[in-house]
A and B are shown apart, each in its own frame.
Chain A
């Protein structure tokens, strides 16, 4: 996707967000029952922000039609989708799923070991290299899980999730 197209899509989303802020601020409770000064209503700044965000979104949309190198440049094109997808998936799974479901030590051990294995295991490599990669990943997982558990639980007195 080109930057121009990405800007147009973002402009649409930002415009909607601006409208939401505007409407949310306008319909917000004005606390008349507490007899506050009308100029200090809680929705005032969200209304202003909503207007400004919608205005900036409109300007972004208009500027996306300029034909220059910036707008022709590709977005999310110069990296590895596989590495990004795997990283995002495994990190999100760990943070939102494993932590709180498994005891912290085991959640962290599983995460760190899997992460290291995913990105360091040589599928086409020699058996020796594969064994070293597995052992290194296991050692990393155990080290990170144990080290961070001890640091936070024993030293900082945090009740781990």
Chain B
């Protein structure tokens, strides 16, 4: 139980007026960012990374975690009140939240969403403190062979699960990200690749400008492109916001299951909060005694979606901290931010900074407490925030994209990179290419490249160790299964036992 002990120690470290002040404003800002359609959690964390780089490292990471937790929760505001999810993570929330709001129960819906989010995050935190330390210790035994397959698996599974239409587009996005990572000086011989004659590309393409472009500028373009860009304003009929404990107790199994599903989805590399919400919602609907209410204002559906998406946040931190493989797009930015602040995520974290997992878990808990406080008290204030017109909001966002990108290394070239990724990111999104595998490719490209070549050097060019070492063989099996599942016949055969068990349980 040393994980829980570390969590308590972490809470003690953060219980200072200065830290609580930073947590308070960052969570509030996160909720505002998340609640505004067009601004996502990833964009908020990316922009905040540029705004906090001069802060002391613990404070900066606390601000980023609070922004992340707040933004994921904040998306539920507009999903419930306007039927426009503030972030993709809240799409499932709108299915039952908006009908409740139309029935004049917006306040209660937001109260339920708040309770669901808080409980989901706390469930994920428990998993984080319990799973992350042993996982990091297990990962200490990983060699180049295992890290190569881990990187391949991460990009593949992210491409497969985040693609809207065909997994092929997810794979292509991942390959494009890897191709971007090939630019600049490589990690073994320091040979400069594909710099196209530009000195500025010798160091490669930095992640933050690329992400601010792909998630910031591209979102500004998307928001202005959509005809629905003008916010609808619905009259708020907020009733009470504190949910009945009886209501929460009745759905205890749904909350526990959604928390578990959300955390597990978070652990899968590059698969974000939206999938966590949908998977939890689908599971709740399948097992509910009130299936017919889903989509028409079901309390259970709303709780499942919000618990699911919030549990992804701590879940995604598990691989991010222990393996340096992000569980979601937002945690990819967090990894970059950790490096900026001198913390090296990866298997060595338990040796270099053994108390860090407890500390970051404590940050999530503090963010959750502030989130719950704001969620239950500032309902009407958030309705006002949703009325800010895009004509005034988007220039502010873009200015922060530009100056934030510049501030990191004070290079005008980084602004060009940001604009390039913004324009390309917009076009790719319109053509249904997911952004998460692209980002994962940029992050994992270096690890994949170095692990493959280092592994081949260690084995003197032999491929056998890539397939015969136990963990490598496990990854290979998972990768082959993931690809084979795209073939309908294989999918039918593989899922047959699951369907059989499901049918028995229903009977």
Which residues of chain A have a CB within 8 Å of any CB of chain B?
3, 6-7, 10, 14, 17, 21, 24, 28-29, 31, 34, 36-46, 49, 52-53, 56-57, 59-60, 63, 70, 75-76, 78-80, 83-84, 86-88, 91-92, 94-96, 99-100, 104, 108, 111-112, 115-116, 118-120, 136, 140, 144, 148, 151-152, 155-161
B contact residues around A44 at 8 Å (CB): 452-453, 456
**Stretch of B11-19, B126-134, B167-175 that contacts chain A:** B167-175
B contact residues around A6 at 8 Å (CB): 431
Assess A120 versus B391: contact at CB under 8 Å? Given A10-B431, A42-B191, A42-B193: yes
B221 contacts A88, C-beta separation under 8 Å: yes
A contact residues around B225 at 8 Å (CB): 79-80, 83-84, 87
A contact residues around B419 at 8 Å (CB): 91-92, 95-96
B399 contacts A119, C-beta separation under 8 Å: no
B410 contacts A28, C-beta separation under 8 Å: no
- Which positions 122-146 of chain B face chain A at CB distance < 8 Å? none
* Residue B384 is within 8 A (CB to CB) of chain A in the complex: no
B403 contacts A79, C-beta separation under 8 Å: no
Closest residue of B by beta carbon distance from A34: B189
Across the A-B interface, the 3 shortest Cβ-Cβ residue pairs: A39-B456, A119-B391, A79-B225
A contact residues around B344 at 8 Å (CB): none
* Residue B448 is within 8 A (CB to CB) of chain A in the complex: yes
B contact residues around A94 at 8 Å (CB): 398, 402
A158 contacts B410, C-beta separation under 8 Å: yes
Which residues of chain B have a CB within 8 Å of any CB of chain A?
51, 53-54, 165-166, 168-169, 171-172, 175-176, 178-179, 182, 186, 188-189, 191, 193-194, 217, 220-221, 224-227, 229, 389-392, 394-396, 398-400, 402-403, 406-407, 410, 412, 415-416, 418-419, 422-423, 430-432, 448-449, 452-454, 456-457, 460-461
A87 contacts B224, C-beta separation under 8 Å: yes
Determine the distance from Cα of A161 to Cα of B412 in the docked complex, in whole angstroms. Answer: 8
Closest residue of A by beta carbon distance from B166: A63
Determine the distance from Cα of A10 to Cα of B484 in the docked complex, in whole angstroms. Answer: 25
A45 contacts B452, C-beta separation under 8 Å: yes
A99 contacts B453, C-beta separation under 8 Å: no
A148 contacts B410, C-beta separation under 8 Å: no
Determine the distance from Cα of A126 to Cα of B171 in the docked complex, in whole angstroms. Answer: 53
B179 contacts A21, C-beta separation under 8 Å: yes
The one of B178, B226, B461 that contacts A79, using a Cβ cutoff of 8 Å: B226
B contact residues around A140 at 8 Å (CB): 392, 395-396
B412 contacts A99, C-beta separation under 8 Å: yes
A42 contacts B229, C-beta separation under 8 Å: no
Assess A3 versus B431: contact at CB under 8 Å? Given A49-B182, A116-B392: yes
**Shortest distance from the beta carbon of B122 to any chain A beta carbon, whole Å:** 34
Determine the distance from Cα of A83 to Cα of B426 in the docked complex, in whole angstroms. Answer: 14
Determine the distance from Cα of A75 to Cα of B389 in the docked complex, in whole angstroms. Answer: 26
**Shortest distance from the beta carbon of B447 to any chain A beta carbon, whole Å:** 11
Closest residue of B by beta carbon distance from A14: B172
**Shortest distance from the beta carbon of A70 to any chain B beta carbon, whole Å:** 5
A116 contacts B399, C-beta separation under 8 Å: no
B400 contacts A40, C-beta separation under 8 Å: no
Determine the distance from Cα of A56 to Cα of B398 in the docked complex, in whole angstroms. Answer: 34
The one of B175, B191, B407, B431 that contacts A49, using a Cβ cutoff of 8 Å: B175
**Shortest distance from the beta carbon of A90 to any chain B beta carbon, whole Å:** 9
B179 contacts A53, C-beta separation under 8 Å: yes
A contact residues around B227 at 8 Å (CB): 78-80
The one of B53, B191, B431 that contacts A31, using a Cβ cutoff of 8 Å: B191
Closest residue of B by beta carbon distance from A53: B175
The one of B179, B389, B418, B431 that contacts A17, using a Cβ cutoff of 8 Å: B179
Determine the distance from Cα of A143 to Cα of B142 in the docked complex, in whole angstroms. Answer: 52
Closest residue of B by beta carbon distance from A21: B179
A contact residues around B431 at 8 Å (CB): 3, 6-7, 10, 75
A contact residues around B453 at 8 Å (CB): 39-41, 44-45
A contact residues around B461 at 8 Å (CB): 37-39
6 further interface pairs, Cβ-Cβ under 8 Å (given A40-B456, A119-B224, A119-B394): A14-B172, A49-B178, A86-B224, A111-B395, A144-B395, A152-B407
B448 contacts A70, C-beta separation under 8 Å: no
Determine the distance from Cα of A80 to Cα of B390 in the docked complex, in whole angstroms. Answer: 14
Determine the distance from Cα of A115 to Cα of B179 in the docked complex, in whole angstroms. Answer: 35
Assess A83 versus B392: contact at CB under 8 Å? Given A42-B191, A56-B172, A56-B175: no
Closest residue of B by beta carbon distance from A9: B431
Determine the distance from Cα of A100 to Cα of B416 in the docked complex, in whole angstroms. Answer: 12
A156 contacts B407, C-beta separation under 8 Å: yes
Determine the distance from Cα of A150 to Cα of B186 in the docked complex, in whole angstroms. Answer: 38
A116 contacts B179, C-beta separation under 8 Å: no
**Shortest distance from the beta carbon of B442 to any chain A beta carbon, whole Å:** 13
Determine the distance from Cα of A41 to Cα of B395 in the docked complex, in whole angstroms. Answer: 46
Determine the distance from Cα of A88 to Cα of B189 in the docked complex, in whole angstroms. Answer: 40
B contact residues around A104 at 8 Å (CB): 403
A96 contacts B416, C-beta separation under 8 Å: yes
Determine the distance from Cα of A151 to Cα of B472 in the docked complex, in whole angstroms. Answer: 49
Determine the distance from Cα of A118 to Cα of B389 in the docked complex, in whole angstroms. Answer: 13
